[in-house]
């Protein structure tokens, strides 16, 4: 795990942790990011800095709120949070949404880097005001966490290009395989909770291998220690498009994704209004276009909606 970085969002300078204006063009320059993506680089188009404070949304914040502490996990693979080549500046879809919401609300951000699995448990203690790391909204998490949704992503699978697997729609297809995934994620929970499906079918159980960083997951697959990766749909599609010798095995379970807060937070209405403002003014669409995730668009932000169910689950 990398050392924690504590940096304010007070000024837009080259020293700030979040990516600020760079690359070509302003909000309309998304074409440059597409070129970067095709060449294997990280998109750098600035689609956020033109955003301005919205008094109506900001008025929903608790009185006196001027600065918020956000926890972000660096996954290492776009569109998730990663570093620019300078090794210190964070960028990614979650970073852009966090920056944009802060601008709409007129607040400064104190950014803390933390491991993915540590963020949600720390919210209740007040260590962070919110987390922004592609957190899927599940019924289990909603018992202790409040969410404000901003995209729809979910769970999927990928593997090496030489694998005999072509598509995974049922966890029983994983029986006898080694499955690599992120620690503390919905993927790990889904795999662990459903291990019984192999025994129920009279087959050898799959083995769950957890890692804290995406780079370690992909190394495990490329080197043959793991047979399959279970991760975010968007992250898998990006990896397959930019890493040779990989193939996408399909979507498994769509989930809403949201900013995460301690249960009972007073911040949720303001964040919801801010996301809806981004949807209305076009910044939302520009962020998704930049990261190649337009298929994850939502129509409106919601506060802690019920977990989306798989079609097979709804039919059961």
Torsion of Cα atoms, 227 then 231 then 234 then 237, to 10°: 0
Q: Measure the CA–CA gap between 250 and 229, rounded to whole angstroms.
A: 11
Q: Is the pLDDT of residue 23 over 90?
A: no
Q: Can you give the pLDDT at residue 311? A: 66
| pLDDT mean over 17-38 | 35
Cβ–Cβ under 8 Å, residues 143 and 235: no
Residue 312's φ and ψ, nearest 5 degrees, are -65, -35
Q: Can you give the pLDDT at residue 109? A: 98
pLDDT tens-digit series, residues 94-128: 999 999 999 999 999 999 999 999 999 999 999 99
| DSSP label of 303 | B
> pLDDT band at residue 306, thresholds of 50, 70 and 90?
very high
Q: Is the pLDDT of residue 307 over 70?
A: yes
Q: Can you give the pLDDT at residue 33? A: 37
Q: Measure the CA–CA gap between 137 and 62, rounded to whole angstroms.
A: 24
Q: Is the pLDDT of residue 314 over 90?
A: no
How would you classify the pairing of strands 145-160 and 246-262?
Answer: antiparallel
Q: Can you give the pLDDT at residue 309? A: 85
Q: pTM of this prediction?
A: 0.82
Q: Measure the CA–CA gap between 249 and 263, rounded to whole angstroms.
A: 35
Q: Is the pLDDT of residue 35 over 70?
A: no
Residue 184 CA, distance from chain mean position: 13
pLDDT tens-digit series, residues 51-92: 999 999 999 999 999 999 999 999 777 899 999 888 889 999
Cβ–Cβ under 8 Å, residues 130 and 124: no
Among 68-82, 171-185, 296-310, the minimum mean pLDDT is found in 68-82
Residue 20's φ and ψ, nearest 5 degrees, are -110, -160
Angle between the 268-281 and 93-105 helix axes, to the nearest 10 degrees? 100
With 0-12 / 13-18 / 19 or more C-beta atoms within 10 angstroms meaning exposed / middle / buried, residue 245 is: exposed
Length of the chain: 316
Q: Measure the CA–CA gap between 199 and 174, rounded to whole angstroms.
A: 12
Q: Can you give the pLDDT at residue 203? A: 97
Q: Can you give the pLDDT at residue 59? A: 98
Peptide bond connecting 79 to the previous residue in cis, omega within 30 degrees of 0: yes
pLDDT tens-digit series, residues 188-246: 999 999 999 999 999 999 999 999 888 899 999 999 999 999 999 999 998 898 889 99
Q: Which of 197, 193, 199, 187 has its CA nearest to residue 135?
A: 187
Among 12-16, 72-76, 178-182, 232-236, the minimum mean pLDDT is found in 12-16
Q: Can you give the pLDDT at residue 32? A: 33
CA quadruple 259, 261, 267, 268: dihedral sign: positive
Most confident of 37-41, 189-193, 306-310: 189-193
Residue that is written with structure tokens 């129920």 in the block: 200
Q: Measure the CA–CA gap between 155 and 255, rounded to whole angstroms.
A: 8
| Cα distances (angstroms) measured from residue 140 to each of 20, 56, 136, 190, 269 | 35, 32, 11, 11, 22
Q: Can you give the pLDDT at residue 312? A: 57
Q: Can you give the pLDDT at residue 105? A: 98
Q: Can you give the pLDDT at residue 167? A: 96
Tokens representing 115? Answer: 């491991």
Q: Measure the CA–CA gap between 164 and 162, rounded to whole angstroms.
A: 7
Selected residue with higher pLDDT from 316 and 295? 295
Q: Can you give the pLDDT at residue 18? A: 54
Provide the strand spans (E) within 108-245. Answer: 108-113, 130-136, 145-160, 178-182, 207-211, 228-232
- Mean pLDDT score of the chain, rounded to an integer? 86
Q: Can you give the pLDDT at residue 39? A: 31
């Amino acid at each position: 795990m990398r050392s924690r970085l504590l940096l304010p969002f007070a000024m837009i300078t080259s020293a700030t942790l979040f990516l600020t204006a760079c690359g070509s063009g302003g909000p309309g320059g998304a074409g440059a990011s597409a070129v970067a993506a095709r060449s294997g680089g990280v998109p750098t188009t600035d689609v956020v800095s033109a955003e301005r404070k919205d008094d109506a949304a900001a008025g929903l914040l608790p009185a006196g709120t001027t600065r918020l502490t956000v926890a972000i996990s660096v996954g290492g693979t776009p569109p998730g949070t990663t570093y620019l080549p300078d090794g210190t500046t964070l960028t990614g879809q979650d970073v852009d949404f966090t920056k944009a919401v802060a601008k709409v609300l007129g607040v400064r951000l104190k950014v803390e880097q933390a491991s993915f699995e540590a963020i949600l448990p720390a919210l209740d203690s007040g260590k962070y005001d919110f987390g922004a790391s592609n957190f899927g909204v599940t019924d289990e998490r909603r018992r202790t966490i409040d969410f404000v949704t901003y995209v729809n992503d979910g769970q999927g699978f990928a593997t090496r290009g030489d694998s005999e697997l072509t598509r995974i729609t049922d966890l029983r297809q994983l029986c006898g395989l080694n499955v690599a995934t992120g620690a503390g994620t919905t993927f790990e929970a889904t795999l662990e909770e459903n291990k019984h499906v192999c025994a129920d079918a009279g087959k050898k159980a799959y083995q769950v291998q957890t890692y804290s960083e995406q780079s370690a997951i992909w190394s495990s697959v490329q080197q043959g220690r793991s047979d399959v990766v279970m991760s975010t749909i968007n992250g898998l599609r990006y990896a397959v498009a930019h890493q040779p010798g990989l193939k996408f095995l399909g979507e498994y379970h769509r989930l809403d994704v949201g900013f995460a807060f301690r249960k009972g937070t007073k911040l949720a209405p303001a964040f919801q209004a801010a996301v809806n403002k981004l949807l209305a003014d076009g910044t939302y669409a520009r962020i998704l276009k930049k990261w190649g995730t337009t298929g994850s668009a939502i129509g409106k932000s919601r506060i802690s909606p019920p977990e989306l169910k798989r079609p097979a689950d709804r039919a059961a």
